[in-house]
Amino acid sequence: MTPFRLIPLVAALLATLPAHAQSLVDLYQAARAYDASFQSVQSQYEATAAKAEQARAGLLPTANLGMAISRSSVDPDTKLASTAFGSQSATLSGSHPLYRPANQITFDQGLRSVITAQAQLLSAEQDLLVRVSQSYFDVLAALDALTFVTAQKTAVSEQLASAVRNFEVGTSTITDTREAQARFDLVLAQQIAAENDLRVKKIALDQLVGKTEASPKPLTPPVILPAMLPDDVRVWVNQAAELHPQLRQLALALEVAQLETQKAQAASKPTLDLNASYAMSNNDGTSSSRTSYKASVATVALAFNMPLFSGFSIQNRVKETLALEDKARTDLEAARRTISQATRTAFFGVLSGQGQARALQAAEASSQSALDANKLGYQVGVRINIDVLNAQSQLFQTKRDLAKARYDVLVGGLKLRQANGSLRPEDLLAIDALLVK
């Protein structure tokens, strides 16, 4: 499409946009603060971080303060006066683990759970990036489809009017008029469907970003799609092995499973704790004596415990954790193969999309030339009305397919980065640079 022929189309697109049209980055920032699924993962990350800190308690000393006060009254059956007595006590106690290997392993597992939660948050962020971008360009594609079908309706309407005039002056048959009318009715139905599709796509985008009447900016003509860099699929696959958050999660899951085996084995090891307490008590008599006394007791002790026999529970627990360790290792390998295949598929999908966009761009120019030739042939009588209508339909369908192909390439590039785990919010800036300022 030449720049001059793009001007009316861009003007039509811009006319449908409000003055507050948003860029892709703007709508992503809005979705990040609104999307419920992303907020859920973010809250889960904060909970996991707090839970990991709880495991630190197994390595630190604990202290407790206990206090008690009591008062008793004795009312004998004899004529003796009733008596009352009581006691007050306070105990300060503390304990510090000197050797508890299972506690250290639990703490190490907690640290890895935080890193796992970070990887899950990164996956959720990448998913949100792709969902917002897909919905953004879905709206633009629906808007393009409506614009093209409206332009086609105008062109068919002009052709219908021309057929009616030619029939009235006797230079064409009623067949031309009926063909043009049939095509007009078909385009009218397509316009209604396109309007509804645009309405649905806008609702989906509004729901995702939490805005009313969110309006994405279109691409700036002439559209030049970014090149694929790097252009070697092996580089993308190698990056996936290093960067993909799912692989990071599964690698950490394997480490946690290995630590779980060590913890199960540690159940047969001894434990050693240092305990200390200081107790004070004050008594002003008992039921048999009115003697008051005070006492203070300080205690320091080492508590040693050695498991001797637990009914083979430790041995079977070790077998269980070893099996789970093998499962985690297998899951990691399966994910590595799946991600490698998904990265290759996404890479070649983007290459194919770029090729289709170039082919459709050439087809658009050819279709425009064919339409011009058919219009001229119709005017001089060597082409009939249906030839012009078919050429118009082919041109506008090619325009629609070309616009959709460009959007698919841009979203496909983001999906490729998601497939190999390298997608970041900064990647949206390159797409924002292609949008109307």
Instruction: Give the separation between CA 102 and CA 273, rounded to whole angstroms.
Output: 13
For 341-395, the pLDDT digits (tens) are 999 999 999 999 999 999 999 999 999 999 999 989 988 888 878 898 999 999 9
For 89-117, the pLDDT digits (tens) are 999 999 999 999 999 999 999 999 999 99
Give pLDDT, residue 288. 65
- Interstrand relation of 83-99 and 271-283 (parallel, antiparallel or unpaired): antiparallel
Other CB atoms closer than 10 Å to residue 392's CB: what's the count?
A: 23
Q: In Å, how far are 22, 193, 201, 287, 372 from 206, measured between CA atoms?
A: 12, 20, 9, 79, 41
| Percent of the chain residues past pLDDT 70, beyond the cut | 93
pLDDT at 2 over 80: no
Give pLDDT, residue 74. 72
What is the set of domains in the chain, with CATH numbers? 3-34+101-268+322-432 (1.20.1600.10)
Give pLDDT, residue 80. 55
- Triad 28, 33, 38: Cα angle to 5°: 85
Give pLDDT, residue 81. 56
Considering the entire predicted model, what is its pTM?
Answer: 0.85
For 310-339, the pLDDT digits (tens) are 999 999 999 999 999 999 999 999 999 999
With tokens 């559209």, the residue in question is 223
Please check whether residue 409 is in contact with residue 353, taking contact to mean a CB–CB distance below 8 angstroms: yes
Length of the chain: 437
Give pLDDT, residue 166. 82
Structure tokens at 434: 């292609």
- Give per-residue burial for 168-202: e unless 16+ CB within 10 Å, then b: eeeebeeebbebbeebbeebeebbeebeebbeebb
Instruction: Give the separation between CA 246 and CA 110, rounded to whole angstroms.
Output: 18
